[in-house]
Structure 1
Amino acid sequence: MAVSPPLPVDLSGIRLDPGKGLAGQLYQALRERILDGRLPAGVRLPASRDLATLLGVGRNTVVRAFDQLYAEGYVEGRVGAGTYVAAVTASAPVPATTPLDVPLTQPLQRLQAHHLPLPREGAPRAFRVGVPAFDLFPFETWARLSARFWRKPSPARLGYGDPAGDWQLRELIAAYLRNGRGLHCDPAQIIVTCGAQQAISLCAQLLVEVGDKVAVENPGYRAAGHAFAVAGAQLVGIAVDGQGLDTDELESADCRMAYVTPSHQYPTGVTLSLARRLALLDWAERREGWIIEDDYDGEYRYNGTPLAPLAALDRNGRVLYVGTFCKIAFPALRLGYLVLPKALAEAFSRRRALDTRHLEIGTQAVMASFIADGHFQRHIRRMRAAARSRRDALLANWPQDIRGCAPLPDVEAGLHLCVRVDSLTREAELIARAAQVGVELNGLSDYWLPGSPLADDQRAGLVLGFAAVPEARIVEATEALRAAWSD
């Protein structure tokens, strides 16, 4: 009886799971042994038939694994001459707990200091901030429009598109802003973006020089501040009072750019007064500066029609208007727009082309049909009514006489409200107790710039979104808070 020759190397330690792809597992096992030196360069691997017998698998499994190793350069040889491990240079693996000692560039250093926290997981709960009533979105209508577009899309829309966005959608956005918001602009001034944050970031990339001072509301939307800071700006916090951004304080700051949320300040909820709107525009004209207007939830006005944007008053091309569909539809849509002064439109479009070339066409085309067919305006009316009803449910059921917590303010706009608390200690306590009963609250203290001049206790409060869940769940949440906060 003939005796089989010994295998060139010992591979008996390889274990393959029959419930998974065998060839892929064998390829990974051999690759790891080659990279870590257990199979050194020049070693002859077993013949495919011998290795198949050793591992108890079919010869085709071994052949497929060898073919992949050949293709990637881990092994070499010729048919009939055997298979040998190629000379592979690989660094020793770095343990996961050991940080890489790599010098960081200034942009990376700024990014380490200014980044966004991970979003909250799971479906919305009371009182998640920044989330509209997307449980009311007409998904069947959206699916029908999407199927209609993709059933037979025009070949002209399937190539590389305009970096500023789909022209039809830009025309419809311009018409909506003109008829629904009182803002007159040409479609050529509009750039479609991946949500409002990308629009803000684009402004930071093109209008901020390293070392520039940028005025931001304090407290304010920290994600916008992060975008400017990563671009190299020094953030200058400007106080917010009952009339919005303090334009007198802005005058004394050495800035040529200001980021504002005039229709519904985030997070305090106040509206920038007309006198201060005019003062802000005058400041921009005299300083030859820029105003970034973030109208993130301007459609939600509960007494009368929505306010005209600050950009509608601009006669000197100093306001860049940021709008979004995410607060009307749902955040995952990632669709917004930027209305630019005519002098900036071409430059922004060119910069956009270098970032993403252009946005995906399907979402833009479906949103264009959604607007053109009248669904968008109907949905706005429905969302506004739902948000008003959910606001009323919160105001009617909010627990009263909570120690250290001010009464709820009047809420005439937007998707959230802010209530003051008498100390940071009490703020943290209320938030922690709410979390224990499954209720989400944001602390106002998180919205201030580091080193803000106010005392700690003046920065405390609670920020609540009231549109994320139906009225019944709002009532349940307020009852849970009443029990959790009972002293």
Structure 2
Amino acid sequence: MHSLVGDLVLVRFAAQQDALLHRRLYNALRQAILDKSLAPLTRLPASRDLATQLGISRNSVITVYEQLLAEGYVNTRQGSGTFVAQTLPDSLFDTQACGLAAGSVPTEPVFSRRGQQLLENISASPSQWGAFIPGVPDVNAFPHQRFSKIQARISRRPSPGQLTYSSHGGAPALQQALVEYLRVSRSVNCSAEQILIVEGVHQAIDLVTRLLTNPGDNAWIEEPSYWGIRHILQMNDVRLCPIDVDQAGMNPPDSAENIPRLIFVTPSHQYPLGPVMSLERRQRLLNLAARHPCWIVEDDYDSEFRFSGQPIPALQGLVPDAPVIYIGTFSKTLYPGLRIGYLVLPPVLAKPFRNAHAELYRSGHSLIQTTLAEFIDSGLYTAHIRRMRLLYSKRRTLLCQLITAAFGPQALNEFNDNAGLHLILHLPAGADDVAIANHANNQGILVRALSRYYVGNNPRRGLLMGFASISEDDMPDAFARLVESVRLYCPQALWMA
């Protein structure tokens, strides 16, 4: 039967572009209902009549009617037909239909105090690759083909255990590979059961903080220190106690009035200033932790890249049963996107941490961890580190030469040890290193302001400059652009040369 409603639907149907006829009809009817062209309680044509008028199958019309019925756009009355619903589902999201006054829906989210503090102090760079970005290795130099071949072979016939959640603290093969590697390279003494594989240093610190501190507990951190540690501690409501760093590393007080629950240190290469913690300071920390119920958290983030002298042994291996939680990562030696780090835990903490990690984070990534284990066991990992150590040493030397030529030798950090993946360009007191860094960042030069790494009100001024992810050919031009940013905001720095 021909109807005016059918004519309206025919016009709307013809205007649709969807290749599927039932989708065209659905969209035509739904839009007509929403814009009130088909008013509430309007009777729709019988499925047979509408199919004839549109020239499509009756089954298509029935399918569309059933979909509209399921979504609440139409109602059916037995023996009477199909009618447009009086109250449409879309009106449930209309503030006026819900009786809400204008402006009663928040236009800005309300964050917790901790969340607001975090958002106001965001330090992570929006770009993680480019000239002088600190802490990022040369990811192009990684032997991707060799690593991919191992991964492809392991992935051909994975076991069920490699494809499901892990409750073992990581792939057993990687845990065992790390036992031998850490023993030889870092003098770390542990068993495979003490190693917990995590997704980077941030997750490791978050887990340590959640399990070993209560809100309001004290934590010693280095002054200056890595902003990521501070933010995680603050988000867990831990009180920060900054301890000054000098040429011998963190300088803990002789008598601690506020005994910390955790002590965070980077003893092998302090971040960001660069000194190595002296043996005397290490012993003081170990003695303090032995006398009081506190744990030392040793972040050994880039210890593999020492360009002269002997490797510095880890704090963890200095004494038996040291109260030390050792954290390592592959972000600096391989590439950050791998997202694999590890904790070496004292035996008393190993099982509780493994259980908590599985409960909170649902461990996985067993295939990539097994691949990494074979990469280590085959010798490819240590060979890669040797190659990168030579490459980074050349880049570091060139950057030192550029800084000295432009600003004078005093612009190089006096604590700087011949290690790591970054240098510090010191600036005169009062220089606005944040403004310089922001201007340079806008020019594609990704330095970071040293003052942002301090908690106190008397920070040193300077720029953190990574040299790992920029080639020797590109470095002079990029450095020249940085000099222009310094010249704009701190011209007196150029007079030092």
TM-score with structure 1 setting the length = 0.84
1:193 aligned residue: 198
1:378 aligned residue: 383
Higher CA-based Rg: 2
**Residue number among 355, 367, 374 corresponding to 1:362 in the alignment:** 367
Alignment of 1:121-270 (within 5 A): 121-122=126-127, 124-248=129-253, 251-270=256-275
**Residue number among 440, 443, 446 corresponding to 2:446 in the alignment:** 440
Indicate if the aligned counterparts of 1:301 and 1:414 stay in contact, CA closer than 8 A: yes
| Pairwise CA distance, 1:24 | 7.2
CA distance in 2, matches of 1:275, 1:46: 91
Indicate if the aligned counterparts of 1:405 and 1:421 stay in contact, CA closer than 8 A: no
Task: Report sequence identity in percent.
Answer: 35
CA distance in 2, matches of 1:288, 1:338: 20
What residue identity is the alignment partner of 1:172?
A: A
CA distance in 2, matches of 1:117, 1:20: 48
1:90 maps to 2:97: no
**Residue number among 95, 103, 106 corresponding to 1:99 in the alignment:** 106
What residue identity is the alignment partner of 1:328?
A: T
**Residue number among 425, 437, 448 corresponding to 1:419 in the alignment:** 425
CA distance in 2, matches of 1:110, 1:363: 35
What residue identity is the alignment partner of 1:82?
A: T
Q: Deviations over 1:150-173 (max 9, x none)?
A: 112234433432340111110001
CA distance in 2, matches of 1:352, 1:282: 29
2:116 aligned residue: 112
2:495 aligned residue: none
Change (3 A) 1:103 1:310: same
What residue identity is the alignment partner of 1:90?
A: L
CA RMSD of aligned residues (A): 4.0
Q: Deviations over 1:107-140 (max 9, x none)?
A: x442332357374345621110110111100010
| Unaligned runs of at least 5 residues, structure 1 | none
Q: Which moved more, 1:109-118 or 1:296-305?
A: 109-118
CA distance in 2, matches of 1:316, 1:70: 69
Indicate if the aligned counterparts of 1:219 and 1:447 stay in contact, CA closer than 8 A: yes
Alignment of 1:9-28 (within 5 A): 18=17
Alignment of 1:377-416 (within 5 A): 377-398=382-403, 400-402=405-407, 406-409=411-414, 410-416=416-422
Change (3 A) 1:15 1:132: farther
| Pairwise CA distance, 1:479 | 2.7
Q: Which moved more, 1:440-449 or 1:421-430?
A: 421-430
Q: Deviations over 1:235-265 (max 9, x none)?
A: 1111111211111277344322111111111
Indicate if the aligned counterparts of 2:9 and 2:28 stay in contact, CA closer than 8 A: no
2:478 aligned residue: 477
Change (3 A) 1:429 1:198: closer
What residue identity is the alignment partner of 1:198?
A: Q
Change (3 A) 1:350 1:407: closer
Give the match's secondary structure for 1:471.
coil
Change (3 A) 1:249 1:334: farther
Q: Deviations over 1:280-322 (max 9, x none)?
A: 1111111121111111111111112321111111434411001
Change (3 A) 1:189 1:28: farther
Alignment of 1:272-351 (within 5 A): 272-351=277-356
Give the match's secondary structure for 2:424.
strand
Indicate if the aligned counterparts of 2:403 and 2:411 stay in contact, CA closer than 8 A: no
CA distance in 2, matches of 1:283, 1:36: 74
Q: How many residues align?
A: 478
Give the match's secondary structure for 2:444.
coil
Change (3 A) 1:87 1:141: same
TM-score with structure 2 setting the length = 0.82
Q: Which moved more, 1:352-361 or 1:417-426?
A: 417-426
Indicate if the aligned counterparts of 1:400 and 1:407 stay in contact, CA closer than 8 A: no
What residue identity is the alignment partner of 1:463?
A: L
CA distance in 2, matches of 1:267, 1:15: 67
2:494 aligned residue: none
